[in-house]
Structure 1
């Protein structure tokens, strides 16, 4: 593993342990050249995923890009980083288990929205505003109406007999 400080390939693993959800191995490393300490993560990758963009371009799937977009949607929300990591791991597993090596941005977006809806309503609307390209306030109103209609309990809508 290359040292991020000096670029040396002479590094040593000092500690290894699984993450909380056991989806990765966290390795604490030290550079033997400059003594810089850093952490790496090792994850299982079932298959190489290629993302088909809306313009038809094909690019490799980037887990870190997915994480960054979710961090933006969840900015200033009370969600623990561990929960976010678990959600990203679950989304990646869902995408890999589709059995396709090429996936569309729509498939990724819908999967992300499903998981965000369960995690945080505000982040869901933030993400939807970018993903669905909201242009006016009515688009936000429609998204909020859809959220509130999903939240309503169907039993509560049935009048009670006296």
Structure 2
């Protein structure tokens, strides 16, 4: 008998209710939602250890991906899952911590660009090493074929929700 997870139990309970809802068909996404919640809690714990908030981690990660390029606040916002209104105070906090600095935008006299400092780069590299090691540990039991099929299926769903993108920061 195969092992049951939380979603198996929930779907079985829903199926006893004789509803017309297709719970079996959405079990995959129910698992994605559950996994996402667990991974978000793990990220929150990681951020606490590094004295960061999850949004700050996302912003530093976006800056690290773009490094050594600088990003505008708008580009930085695009590279995170934050609202545009949260970006200015987030950059303020990161600047206060010495993790980023604002620079005048040479192409826009009214604009600014955000640059990752050496301290910011070192901090996010250490935090990312931990995060990526944990994610790699979670997918390690999957075979190559399972991983490719899973990635393909989830990519299709994500494209339905977000559409295609050229890159993550602009």
Task: Report the TM-score, using the length of structure 1 for normalisation.
Answer: 0.22
Q: Which has the higher contact order (CA 8 A, sep 6+)?
A: 2
* Structure showing the higher helix proportion among its residues: 2
